[in-house]
Amino acid sequence: MPTKKGRYGKRGATSGNRVAISRSRNRAKSEDLPTATLSGGAGQKVIQITIFKPSPSANAWVYKHWRYYYRIKKEWLEQIYIAIKLGGVRLDKPLEQVRIHAERHSIRLLDQDNMIAGLKPIQDALVTIGILTDDTSDLVIDITGSQVRVPHKADQKTIVTVSECQPTDSQSSTQETVEFKSSEGKKLPTSSG
C-alpha cells in the first residue's frame, strides 16, 4: 500500500526526525538541573533553591481557565522536588515560621506586585513537598523579591531562599495598628469595626 506524500515527503518520515532533533536541543544539561542546599543550625535553617528559569508572572494565569495555573503549579512543583532530592535536603519536620525571598534573573523585568504574586506556585510547591506546613500569613512571615536583568535567555534563573525565623512578640500579634495623619501632622479619627 503506497504511503501518502505530505509536504515533507512520506507521511511521518520527517516528523519523527524533527521531534528527535528538537528533543536533543532541549535536553537538559547537567549544569542546568535545579539545585538546593540546606545550611544553618537548629532554629535557623536556610534552604536555598536554584531553578534555571525565571519565576512565573501572575499574568500567566490571572483571568484564565484554572488549567493554566494548574500547569504552572505542576511544573514548579516538579522543579523544586528535583532540586530538593538532588541537593539531599532533608528535614525532620516542616519549618515553623519562615521568610521567603526570591531573586529573579530574567531578560524581562516584571513590576513588583506581579512578581510577588507570581511566587504563589513556589509557595504551593514548598507546602506540597513538606518544607512548610501551610502558606498562611502566620507561618510565612514575609515574602520579598528582587530582580536582575540578564542579557541572555541562557542566564535566566530563580533563586528562592527560605529562612527559618524565631517568633517574636511583635510577629505573634495578629492585630495591626494603623495611624492616619493629615498633611499638617494631626492624627485623624479612625472608625473601629
pLDDT at 169: 47
Q: Are strands 98-106 and 157-164 parallel, antiparallel or unpaired?
A: antiparallel
Q: Which of 110, 13, 131 is nearest to 59 (CA)?
A: 110
**First vs last C-alpha separation in the chain:** 81
Per-residue pLDDT of the chain (193 residues; tens, 9 = 90+): 555 555 555 544 444 444 333 343 444 455 688 988 888 877 788 999 999 999 999 988 888 899 989 999 999 999 999 999 999 888 888 888 999 999 999 999 999 999 999 999 999 999 999 999 998 888 898 999 999 999 999 999 999 999 998 766 444 444 444 455 555 666 655 555 4
pLDDT at 144: 93
Q: Please give the Cα distance from 73 to 101 (Å, whole number).
A: 18
Instruction: Provide the CATH topology of domain 29-166.
Output: 60s Ribosomal Protein L30; Chain: A; (3.30.1330)
**CB pairs under 8 A, 24+ apart, for 133-141?**
133/94, 133/96, 138/97, 138/174, 139/96, 139/97, 139/98, 140/97, 140/98, 140/99, 140/100, 141/97, 141/98, 141/99, 141/165, 141/171
Residue 7: DSSP 8-state: T
Quick check: 59 and 70 in contact, CB under 8 A? Answer: no
Q: What are the sequence ranges of the domains in the chain?
A: 29-166
